[in-house]
Amino acid sequence: MTAARSTDRPVTPTDEDYLKAIYSVQLDHEKASTSMIAGRLGFAPATVTGQLKKLAEQGWVTYSPYRGASLTSTGRAVAVEVVRHHRLIESFLAGVLGIPWDRVHDEAERLEHALSEYLEDRIDEYLGYPSADPHGAPIPTRDGAVDETDRLRLRELRVGDHATVVEVIDRDPGLLVYLESIGLRPGTRIEVTAIEPYDELISVRLGDTSRTVGPASADQVIVRRL
């Protein structure tokens, strides 16, 4: 999958990191603010502002001070290409090498920029053209199609709701270890049995087991209501 770009300057790994971060933020927000991007990448806001201006000059984002950034069609194509690389690498590391799901994200971050289109296609074919990575995130197709429309969070469910875990956000390895330990993985069916009124602790039933999840953890679990 090769993204059409509106500039003769080659895209750099830094560009790709920013475009991927903006793409991720825009899944839940119309625009990606400087503070959101800074928090996602661990950079100072001033550094982010300077990079956003460069990306806007290349035609990859639209950016307005104090209003944030959004991807252009060209910028989105670059971002989705990197996302595809990342999620295919995660799938290969977990499915073939047996690397735990709390480790594959950081490893894929290091490898995603170096993956050639040839190797991307070979990995995809070897894995049988997977539709989702180990955390349940959809893998974009070779032509850039990706279904990111289902973004209902566990914390948004109400008592009595039944749902299936679709995806677990993969940025916090410690959270992944914890959620795996209590059985909250993609494909798990749950029922919300109680929500504490003050601290918003959520009690869920997984088969014959009951677990309690805090609001911060529940915000990182994407579900599909049944």
Tell me how far the alpha carbon of residue 174 is from its chain's centroid. 16
CA distance 189 to 30: 30
Instruction: Give the pTM.
Output: 0.89
The domain boundary, picked from 101, 119, 148, lies at 148
Tell me how far the alpha carbon of residue 106 is from its chain's centroid. 13
Q: What is the CATH number of the domain that holds 171?
A: 2.30.30.90
Query: Count of domains in the chain?
Result: 2
The domain boundary, picked from 106, 121, 148, lies at 148
Position 81, amino acid: E
Per-residue pLDDT 10s for the chain (226 aa) are 433 344 567 889 999 999 999 999 999 888 999 999 999 999 999 999 999 999 999 999 999 888 889 999 999 999 999 999 999 999 999 999 999 999 999 999 999 999 999 999 999 999 999 999 999 999 999 999 998 777 899 999 999 999 999 999 988 999 999 999 999 999 999 999 999 988 899 999 998 899 999 999 999 999 999 9
Give me the count of residues in the chain. 226
